[in-house]
Chains A and B, each alone.
Chain A
């Protein structure tokens, strides 16, 4: 089994990076192979370009080698795992850019019939996982800012309809967490990743 981890945080010493490392430990302990895409480390473009926008509805919407590597990868991976800090309710811009540039027609979905019905194409996916930290407490996230979960679990999840299990692993009120609580969260990440089948 193969997992692809998308990591979006500019600081290599961040908690998000620690989460990604532990997720890899968990996955590899049960024989998974893992590709880690650290978007900031590879200096990933922060926005869909005007040329890419014009190419979007054509037969060849991928214009860039990095994007092509990623579209090849997500068509054969078994799990897509997103690791990011929640900023302004949702994913950091660089991860949003990755969704826009990678999940293009013909790769992630097709529009068919007179009503442009969305047909999911990432049917290889068995798992769509989000692992995130929030500055806000649980009740505030529920009430105001769980747009990231809606984006990952529901929207990206649509592309693997019926086939993928969605999992959400979150740590709330990050800034007031003790070291012990953070360690426990990392252990949970490792345990949950080791339980993916």
Chain B
């Protein structure tokens, strides 16, 4: 089945392992015959800070935030989200955290029915989230930290997606110390996983 994939890339340089992972991910997705939209947050100069107006209009309808119109449209269009990012201080780079803070907004990602105490999911179009992430520290350090980045996506963000939404985490640890052959295997794995979506 061909999927509609929103691929969000959050690394300051394409000349990096993450840049290579992005290329392999796109190749894999195209090979699998999927429709892909790429959002390259650094290249687009995406502003990660939720503004005062956006905070005060936290519960307002999406059409009150025309500056995010394209971002909202992408999020509502896709059935699969692929995130490619390094893990810094246990989590997503600030620019990607800001994409969550601003774009996963009321009326798009969630809604609050009248009188309800808790938000309800709105992104029921999203049935699959795949994350490709590189970690500077070894796996056990991430375990001590409690893998906050993975929890943000696989628990927090997933909670507003389709109830059967599946998540996967494709990670490489201790990236500064792994051999070239490990790196190549990692990139091949990224490509293979994307083509088999």
Contacts and interface: CB of A to CB of B under 8 A. Distances in A.
Interface of A: 9-11, 14, 40, 46-50, 52-54, 87-94, 96-97, 99-100, 103, 115-116, 118, 135-137, 140, 143-148, 150-151, 154-156, 158, 173, 175-176
B13 interface: yes
Nearest to A49: B12
Nearest to B16: A53
A54 B15 CA distance: 10
Contact of B145 (A11, A14, A115, A154): A154
A49 B50 CA distance: 18
A56 to B, nearest CB: 10
Interface string B149-184: 101100111010000000000000010110000000
Contact of B98 (A11, A93, A158): A93
Interface string B114-150: 0001110000000000000000010001001111110
B94 A48 contact: yes
B84 to A, nearest CB: 15
Nearest to A54: B13
Contacts of B48: 46-47, 93-94, 97
A89 B119 CA distance: 14
B148 A88 contact: no
A46 B88 CA distance: 14
Interface bracket on B = 35 or more
B13 A53 contact: yes
A140 B151 CA distance: 13
Interface centre among A40, A118, A140, A147 (most CB of B within 10 A): A147
Interface centre among B94, B141, B144 (most CB of A within 10 A): B94
Contact of B152 (A50, A143, A145): A145
Given A88-B156, A144-B159, A155-B90, A93 B176 contact: no
A40 B156 contact: no
A176 B118 CA distance: 10
B1 interface: no
Contact of B148 (A40, A137, A155): A155
A90 B152 contact: yes
Contact of B97 (A53, A90, A116, A173): A90
Interface in B90-122: 90-95, 97-98, 100-101, 104, 117-119
A93 B101 contact: yes
Given A54-B13, A93-B101, A94-B94, A10 B52 contact: yes
B68 to A, nearest CB: 14
Given A47-B48, A88-B152, A147-B90, 18 more contacts: A11-B52, A40-B49, A53-B12, A54-B13, A89-B152, A89-B156, A90-B156, A93-B48, A93-B97, A94-B94, A96-B89, A96-B91, A96-B94, A144-B151, A147-B91, A150-B90, A150-B148, A151-B91
